[in-house]
Chain A
Amino acid sequence: MNLTSAKKDLDDEELLQLLERARVNDSKAIGILCSHLYSKIYRFIYYRVNAVEDAEDLTSEVCFRVIKSIQNQKGSFYAWIFRIASNLINDHYRRRSVRSNVEPAGDLIEEMIDKGNKQNELLEQKELRQSLKKLTDEQQEVVVLKFIEGYETDEIADMLGKSSGAIRAIQFRALTALRNNFIKKEVD
């Protein structure tokens, strides 16, 4: 079980220092910040879009927007970037109008199957990923931040501008919905 795999690799102080330098156009700081953010944003987006290419494009766009507006950023930094990412994902779906009907590509899962991983487990993961996409935006955000990114409930509350109780409620409803989707598929 990999419950603590996704951790922040920059502490708050380091992040603040990088932000200060990035705000005055320090290219080195911007480079470090982008490298650090890219993976986080990519994972956040990957589980909500259909293809690796889309995830990469959107992640690049988020990084771009972050750097463009970093001088005007106030409040929680991660909340800000995940809000930008969420907005971009929504725009992406609005443009394509394909959100609910298209089957997720599951590039990563298929890639792992090719590499000889346990097929049943990976197929379950593929189904789980498909079910994840049927959740509401809010539920998807919480699930990805909590179980993929590995953030604590309080941290997610801060990022999404909600109370911890609200995040716990969303988490509970998201897990229940995922479970129900699973059961439904098994019955089918």
Chain B
Amino acid sequence: MEQDIELLLDNCINEMRNGKSIDECLAKYSQSATGGAGQLRPLLQLVQQLEILPKPEPAPEAISGTLINIGHHIAQRSMTSEKLTAVEKLQKKSSIFNIIRRPKIAWAFSAAFLFLVVLFSAATISANSVPGDILYPLKLATEKVKFLLTFNSEKKAELRLTFSDKRLQEMIAVFQQSGKLDTTLLKEMLDEAKLALEETKIPSDTASVFVTKLSHVNAYQKDVLEKIRPQVNLSSRKIVDEAINMCDMRGRWMRRMMNEENEISPDSSAPDSTGSPQQMPRSKQKSNRWQWGPGCDWMK
């Protein structure tokens, strides 16, 4: 019953909003109102009064004041969000360096950096050291590392040549300082030159260039040895003679190889320990094309 009257009241209000009078509404719903018309009428009259209550409009100043305040708020919020974005970016950046910032890790990084600096400086200074110097072992170690870190065959061969030249320079330096011939350096010089060709597989298109270079190094070493020879004592002179002889034979072999590369079997012309060409089975000839023989074993 009460639900009916609530619905009737609502329907009547809607009808009145569509322009009908209270009487028309009540007439329409008189049958279903079941005597509730008397109850509805005063309520609908009240609704009429409520509907004409003034619709207050806010003062324009109040609206504009609010809008200004909200504008300030939006501006502040934008600035804050920009700041936050900047801070977030900074935090992201700093998070990368956070590990480094930790004292222990920072110390380790500093120590490693210092160690590398010292090592690099020492390696640079040691480049001019000779046997007997404190830094000479570091020089040899640097050379070994450099060689191990080189993966290109051609560059490895170039390095061997460089090492051979360095041993020659060291030998000269030692000889000038002490007047004695360092046979170990002489052996290493010849061995490095031998290894330059043996230990690497140089592509055939650059092989002739490299052999030419090696030939020049060999000739230079022979010249130096010939200049030293008169100044060394008798026991060392024999060794120098043998070394000159070996250089001589190597030079001949290389010249012949360059001239007859395509015609002469390199294995048959490769010098042995005494510098004479080695005799090898034909099956091994190709793979040992650049074989020079055992090198400076005679010095041991």
Across-interface contacts of B81 in A (CB, < 8 A) = 25
Interface residues of A in 138-154 (CB under 8 A from B): 143, 146-148, 152-153
Q: How far is the CA of A179 from the CA of B42 in the complex (A)?
A: 7
B213 within 8 Å of A (CB atoms)? no
B interface majority secondary structure: helix
Which residue of B49, B50, B56 contacts A42 across the interface (Cβ within 8 Å)?
B56
Q: How far is the CA of A91 from the CA of B14 in the complex (A)?
A: 34
Q: Are B54 and A42 in contact (CB under 8 A)?
A: no
Chain B interface residue bracket vs A? 35 or more
A172 within 8 Å of B (CB atoms)? yes
Q: Are A1 and B54 in contact (CB under 8 A)?
A: no
Q: Given contacts A67-B74, A68-B73, is CB(A147)–CB(B54) below 8 Å?
A: no
Q: Are B10 and A3 in contact (CB under 8 A)?
A: no
Q: Are B52 and A2 in contact (CB under 8 A)?
A: yes
Q: Are B16 and A148 in contact (CB under 8 A)?
A: no
Chain A positions 61 through 77: 1 when the CB is less than 8 Å from some CB of chain B, otherwise 0: 00110011000000000
Interface-located stretch among B60-68, B85-93, B140-148, B155-163: B60-68
Residue of A nearest to B44 (CB): A175
Residue among B53, B65, B78 with most chain A CB within 10 A: B53
Q: Are B70 and A38 in contact (CB under 8 A)?
A: no
Q: How far is the CA of A125 from the CA of B56 in the complex (A)?
A: 13
Q: Are A171 and B70 in contact (CB under 8 A)?
A: no
Q: Are A171 and B55 in contact (CB under 8 A)?
A: no
Chain A positions 172 through 188: 1 when the CB is less than 8 Å from some CB of chain B, otherwise 0: 10011011001000000
Distance to closest chain B CB from A30 (angstroms): 6
Interface residues of B in 22-71 (CB under 8 A from A): 42-43, 46-59, 62-63, 65-67, 69-71
Q: Are A38 and B63 in contact (CB under 8 A)?
A: yes
Distance to closest chain A CB from B160 (angstroms): 69
Q: Are B10 and A128 in contact (CB under 8 A)?
A: no
Chain A positions 43 through 79: 1 when the CB is less than 8 Å from some CB of chain B, otherwise 0: 1001100001001100110011001100000000000
Chain A positions 24 through 43: 1 when the CB is less than 8 Å from some CB of chain B, otherwise 0: 01010011001100110011
Residue among A25, A165, A172 with most chain B CB within 10 A: A172
Q: Are B69 and A64 in contact (CB under 8 A)?
A: yes
Residue of A nearest to B71 (CB): A27
Which residue of A108, A165, A176 contacts B43 across the interface (Cβ within 8 Å)?
A176
Q: Given contacts A43-B55, A153-B10, is CB(A60)–CB(B42) below 8 Å?
A: no
Q: How far is the CA of A178 from the CA of B78 in the complex (A)?
A: 48
Q: Are B50 and A147 in contact (CB under 8 A)?
A: yes
Across-interface contacts of A4 in B (CB, < 8 A) = 17
Q: Are A171 and B50 in contact (CB under 8 A)?
A: no
A109 within 8 Å of B (CB atoms)? yes
Q: Are B51 and A147 in contact (CB under 8 A)?
A: yes
A169 within 8 Å of B (CB atoms)? yes
Q: How far is the CA of A68 from the CA of B69 in the complex (A)?
A: 12
Residue of A nearest to B61 (CB): A56
Across-interface contacts of A168 in B (CB, < 8 A) = 6-7, 9-10
Distance to closest chain A CB from B61 (angstroms): 9
A-side residues, CB < 8 A to B, are 1-6, 25, 27, 30-31, 34-35, 38-39, 42-43, 46-47, 52, 55-56, 59-60, 63-64, 67-68, 108-109, 112, 124-125, 128-129, 143, 146-148, 152-153, 165, 168-169, 171-172, 175-176, 178-179, 182
Q: Which 9 A-B pairs have the closest CB atoms?
A: A147-B50, A42-B58, A168-B6, A60-B66, A56-B62, A172-B6, A3-B17, A175-B43, A168-B10
23 A–B contacts, CB within 8 A, in A order? A27-B74, A30-B70, A31-B71, A34-B70, A38-B62, A39-B57, A42-B57, A43-B55, A43-B56, A55-B56, A56-B59, A60-B69, A64-B69, A67-B74, A125-B49, A125-B52, A148-B53, A152-B14, A169-B2, A175-B47, A176-B43, A179-B43, A182-B46
Given contacts A42-B57, A147-B47, 6 further A-B contacts (CB under 8 A): A1-B16, A25-B77, A39-B57, A46-B56, A56-B62, A169-B6
